Structure formats: structure tokens, C-alpha cells
Amino acid sequence: MNATVSIKHVVIVGGGFAGLACARKLAKSNEVRITLIDKNNYNQFQPLLYQLATAVLGTDDVATSLRESFLGQTNVAVKMCEVTAADPKTRTVTTRDGMTYQGDFLVLAAGSQANFFGTAGARENAFPLYSVEEAQRLRSRILSVFEDADREPKLVEQGALNIVVVGGGPTGVEVAGAVADVVNHTMTREYPDLAVQNARVYLIDHGHALLAAFPVDAHDYAARALQRKGVQLKLGTGVKEVRPDRVLLSDGTSIPTRTVVWGGGLMASRLAADSGLPRGRGGRIEVGADLSVEGFPGVYVLGDFANIPSAEDDTLPQLGSVAQQSGVWTAKNILAEVAGKPRTPFHYHDKGIMAMIGRDAAVAAVGKKRHELEGFIAFAAWIGVHALLMNGVRAKVEAFIDWAWSYFTKSAPIQVLDRGDEGQIDWDEGKSKAA
């Protein structure tokens, strides 16, 4: 009886890298029970979303069932619903359907969403890449414009096949490389009647270097690797406006396109504004070194949703490895609190960062050293790093098969337009504007 009474309830919002790692670690303890809430019933693997968008991987390679992750785990309840508000004083969250969940501990790990920095038309017309749904929308758009132009070749003159990627960080560089590969290898083969050679992939950034977070000589390497694939770089150039049929740039020029991929910045997901907690840069929640929030006992915030202090007096970057480790650390601190022991400050073990530039080039930074990897070695190293982070054996095996197929055949195997393009392409409108 006493044992039952002392079991503490931990409510976790977000089943991404951070929330899932926290729940997994806590689930091993019989002193807590966990309610894991996510607006989806799956865990999504964000680092691979661009491969879903470019048809290299399928949805089930990048999304795994949260319920399956906790099969037979009687102290974990998974609830699929969107949390719309949080009361950190009582550690209670309210969901869109009016349910409330109250915990002895509240863990907020709701991740990121695109930050459009107020750019006109970007919210309406650009394609961000932070969820499975967004990646599916982008894939539908890319396939739709090629299908439409194949029937009506005049659309090519309207820029139908141009793809503009905004942002020269790892997301933008990886997307631009992958899109260029798909255009160069898959589309040329699959659309023999279409002037695919007129397709242009652009990468735009208002800064003057790609991969700014990497060591300096990685910047040039990334630029050269992308240019080899035909990507046109427009650095030192900002995006002024995204229209349905073109993007207007700060240098006064414009690029006709129906596909603008937004990798231009991220901020805490919407719940942060309704969490009643102190926010800082990127709208993220300010946390202490132990990942708790000062003044709100029992509340922890982690992963992309938090500004986590780093040893260098700055904050840690928004990375899967930071999120995963912060999840495990939070679980340890909660179990310490349950046992009446002190919490300890989060120590991030930095194993380095890596960006894949298409199928045959990658750059990795470990400490201050930069490593360039080419060809199969690059591909194999990248797979190794990502397979380790992936959730579930089945997803890993399926992804391996798709990756291998894609690498050796130089094709994107999932070229299936299985959902409509919701982006309202109005080609007539495009014609009149372009005229």
C-alpha cells in the first residue's frame, strides 16, 4: 500500500528525441509512472525529414509508433493529443480536447517550429521541414511540379522546376544537396520528355558562409560540394518576400519558383508562449544548469524547447544529441528528487556535428577539427551516425535498404505521389503574373 502511494507521476509533453529518452529512462524505475503526451502517435526523426521530402525514404522509415516503444511497459501511458496550455505552478497541462493532466513532475519537450522572422509571404508560401507532415507536403509539391510540367512544358519557362532553399545552415545545405541529387539523377531518368536540364536549385543565405557553426574551412568545402552538383549559391542575400510563384531577394532580383524550402531559422514550438514560463532567445524556455526552471519546483524543460546553458557561457545548440542527452539527464534528476537526493547540472557530451551534402559528400566537425568525407566513406559514416540515433530496429532495417538502393542506383525509390499537393498551385495565376 505504501509503495503505491509513493509512486510519483511524471507528465511528459513531446515524444521527440528529448521526451522519448526521458520516458525510456524513467520507465525502468518502479518509483514513477509516466504519461507521455504527443500530438502525433509517433516519434519523428527530424534529421531524416529531408530524405522523406526528396523521396529517398518512406514515412515509416522516419516515424515510429510511440505505443510500440513502450509495449508491455505498465508504468507508461501514451496519449495522443495536442497540449494547448500549461500551468507550471500546479504542473498541469490542458489539451485541445479539454483534458487535463497533472503530475508531481512536468517535463516539457515540445521541440521547434520554423521561424520566418516576419518575412512577407513565407508562412503562407514556403515549405518548412520540422515535421513528417511538412516533409510529406514538400515531397508532394516537388513531385507535382514535375508532373505538371511534364504535361505542360511551358511551365518550365515559368520556373516550375526551380527549387529555392533558404538557409545555409546544416538543414539548408543537406536539403539543397539532396534535392540537387534527385533532380540530376532521378528526375532526368524518370521524365525523359521534360527539359529537366532547365531545373535550377538555389541556396540563399544572408550570411556569407555556409555551415557557419562548423570550422572555417568546412564553409568552402560545402560550397564547392554543392556547386559541383549544380546548386547556385546566393550568399550575402536576404529573402524579402515569398510569393506563390516567385521569391523576391534583397538585391532587387527575383527567382520564379513554386517550391521554396524554409531552413532559415527555428524557434520554440507554439506551446512555449502558452506555458507561463520565462522565455529567451528563439522564444525558448530559460532553464537552469540542471534543466529545471527556477521558481517552478518539479518543472523541467529540455531539448529544442529550452535554452540550455553551456559551459562556454552560451546556450547549447538545437541538436538531436543535445535533446537526447538532456532527456536522460532529466530522468536522472527526477529520480534523484524522488530519492531525496540533490539534482546535478547537465553535462553535455559533445561528439561533434556532421552534415551530409548529397549522397557522396559530408563534412564532420569533431572538436576544432574538420573532416571531409567523400563517396562511399561519407555515405557510410553518415549512416552509422544516424542509425545509432534512430528509434526501433524495423525502422533501421527499412532505412538501410532504402539508403543502399538509393546510393547504388542513384535514384530516389519512393517517387510516389500518394497525397495531393495542398499548396494550391495556380498555374494560370503564375502565367498572368509572369506575363
Ligand X SMILES: Cc1cc2nc3c(=O)[nH]c(=O)nc-3n(C[C@H](O)[C@H](O)[C@H](O)COP(=O)(O)OP(=O)(O)OC[C@H]3O[C@@H](n4cnc5c(N)ncnc54)[C@H](O)[C@@H]3O)c2cc1C
**Minimal distance in Å, beta carbon 386 to ligand X?**
7
C-alpha cell at 86: 500549461
When binding is defined by CB under 6 A, the residue of 323, 357, 363, 378 that contacts ligand X is 323
When binding is defined by CB under 6 A, the residue of 22, 24, 26, 38 that contacts ligand X is 38
C-alpha cell at 310: 553551456
Nearest 5 degrees, angle CA 380-CA 174-CA 279?
120
Which CB atom, from 121 or from 320, has the smaller least distance to ligand X? 320
Dist. CA 84–CA 272, nearest whole Å: 10
Residues 151-180 contacting ligand X, CB under 6 A: 170-171
Dist. CA 6–CA 398, nearest whole Å: 42
* Binding span for ligand X by CB under 6 A among 25-33, 44-52, 367-375, 406-414: 44-52
Contact flag: residue 37 with ligand X (CB under 6 A) = yes
Dist. CA 319–CA 137, nearest whole Å: 23
* Binding span for ligand X by CB under 6 A among 16-24, 238-246, 365-373, 414-422: 16-24
- One-character DSSP codes across 1-56: -HHHHTPEEEEEE--SHHHHHHHHHHHT-TTEEEEEEESSSEEE-GGGHHHHHTTS
- In sequence order, the β-bridge partners of residue 260 are 164
**Minimal distance in Å, beta carbon 299 to ligand X?**
16
**Minimal distance in Å, beta carbon 323 to ligand X?**
3
Spell out the residues 6+ positions from residue 297 whose beta carbon is closer than 8 angstroms to its own: none
Taking residues 186 to 225 in sequence order and writing x for each that binds ligand X by CB under 6 A, - otherwise, the string is ----------------------------------------
**Minimal distance in Å, beta carbon 83 to ligand X?**
4
Q: Is 174 a catalytic residue?
A: yes
For ligand X, how many residues bind (rule: CB under 6 A)?
36
Nearest 5 degrees, angle CA 65-CA 50-CA 145?
115
For residue 255, CA distances in Å to 114, 235, 402, 426 come to 22, 14, 33, 17
Contact flag: residue 18 with ligand X (CB under 6 A) = yes
Contact flag: residue 103 with ligand X (CB under 6 A) = no
Taking residues 240 to 269 in sequence order and writing x for each that binds ligand X by CB under 6 A, - otherwise, the string is -----------------------------x
Cβ proximity of 43 and 51 under 8 Å: no
* Binding span for ligand X by CB under 6 A among 15-23, 114-122, 221-229, 413-421: 15-23
Taking residues 296 to 315 in sequence order and writing x for each that binds ligand X by CB under 6 A, - otherwise, the string is -------xxx----------
Q: Name the closest residue to ligand X (Cβ).
A: 16
Quote the distance between the C-alpha of residue 146 and its chain's center. Answer: 25
Q: Closest Cα to residue 358, out of 229, 175, 177, 226? A: 177
Contact flag: residue 46 with ligand X (CB under 6 A) = yes
Q: What is the DSSP letter of 236?
A: T
Q: Closest Cα to residue 13, out of 97, 100, 72, 131? A: 100
**Minimal distance in Å, beta carbon 58 to ligand X?**
17
Contact flag: residue 185 with ligand X (CB under 6 A) = no
Q: Active site residue: 152, 157, 174, 294, which one? A: 174
Residues 105-144 contacting ligand X, CB under 6 A: 109-112, 129-130
Phi (first) and psi of residue 295, to 5 degrees = 90, -5
Name the residues that contact ligand X, by CB under 6 A. 13-19, 37-40, 44, 46-47, 49-50, 82-83, 109-112, 129-130, 170-171, 269, 271, 303-305, 318-321, 323
Active site residues: 174
